Amino acid sequence: MNQMPVYLFTVRGQFAHWRKWFTTTSALTYSFPPRTAVIGIVGAILGVPREEVAERFRISDTRIAVCPLKRIEKDNFPQKWRFLDSDSKRPKRQVRIEIGNLELMTFPDPFQMQLEVIRRPYYRIIFWHRDEELMKTLRERLQQKRWVYPPYLGIMGFLADVEWEGEAIAEEMRVDRAEIASVLPLDEETARIVDLSEAEAFLREERVPNEVLPNRTFRHLYLAYVSRERKPLSVRFQTASLPIFRLRDESKVAFFENLKGISAI
């Protein structure tokens, strides 16, 4: 069986928002930090420039799992928006509207949009990188709580409180039934063999960004499930084809990267 040394650390805060990129009038959030958000947090801790994060944390070089540590509670924040001038970046005083041959000048009012947030988010991150020197530096910074850039939970104002938990060995196992403590990522093939009929109160997410490509486009998970109540997901597999990893406390997790096919959008 495959084994790998992994780091465990937690992220928490007052609020979190990982925007669902396909929403328009209402800014909805994913129920957990996607892999792309996790590598952003690690990149901020290490001081990796934003434009280099995708290359430094390629999907072939990492193993990442996310475990909810408290009930996932969502709420809505009203946000006030104003039209800005594209040149001065100041609020517009007038907007020109053309209706046929008629030209009108109007004064735009501020408008509101709903921002969906997660209240008091709290997650455990299980992390491995192929680069041993990077892992060593990350451990030192996590233990000392010393970041190059402040990590945040999706939006810059939602700062993350990051806490080092320790090291563990993740041991691969192939089973037909498991209690999964982490987010369960699925590609189209594995989604057909998974039975969640015994699981309680889980959330289903679609089109979750999983990999940043060099041209700033994304590859997405086909599906992902996570327990709303932070209880392990009771999962049965028709065939033991999904790699599950066991940690030192006997909890079982699934890594975002252990999928054959990831939807490209």
Higher pLDDT, 196 or 215: 196
Show Cβ contacts of residue 202 under 8 Å, excluding neighbours closer than 6 positions.
Answer: 196, 225, 226, 227, 228, 233
- Highest mean pLDDT: which range of 48-52, 65-69, 78-82: 65-69
Q: What does the pLDDT average to over 124-137?
A: 98
pLDDT for res 54: 92
Tell me the two tokens of residue 38. 């996790």
Question: H helices within the chain, ranges in order?
Answer: 35-46, 53-56, 132-144, 188-191
> Is a pLDDT exceeding 80 seen at residue 71?
yes
Higher pLDDT, 90 or 147: 147
> Is a pLDDT exceeding 50 seen at residue 47?
yes
CA 39 and chain centroid, separation: 9
Higher pLDDT, 261 or 12: 12
DSSP secondary structure, 82-95, as one string:
--B-TTT-SBPS-E
pLDDT for res 64: 98
Contact present, 158 and 14 (Cβ < 8 Å): yes
Closest to 52 measured CA to CA, from 60, 154, 44: 44
Which of 11-20, 46-55, 97-106 is least confident?
Answer: 97-106
The structural architecture, per CATH, of the domain 3-75+115-264 is 2-Layer Sandwich (3.30)
Closest to 131 measured CA to CA, from 7, 8, 37: 7
What's the mean per-residue pLDDT of the chain? 86
Q: Which residue matches tokens 């041991």? A: 171
* pTM, full prediction: 0.85
Half-sphere exposure of 31 (CA within 13 A, CB side): 26
Query: Which contiguous run of DSSP H or E holds residue 67?
Result: strand 62-68
Contact present, 116 and 19 (Cβ < 8 Å): no
pLDDT for res 4: 93
Domain spans in the chain, listed from the N-terminal domain onward: 3-75+115-264, 77-114
* DSSP bridge pairs for 233: 180
Q: What does the pLDDT average to over 169-185?
A: 92
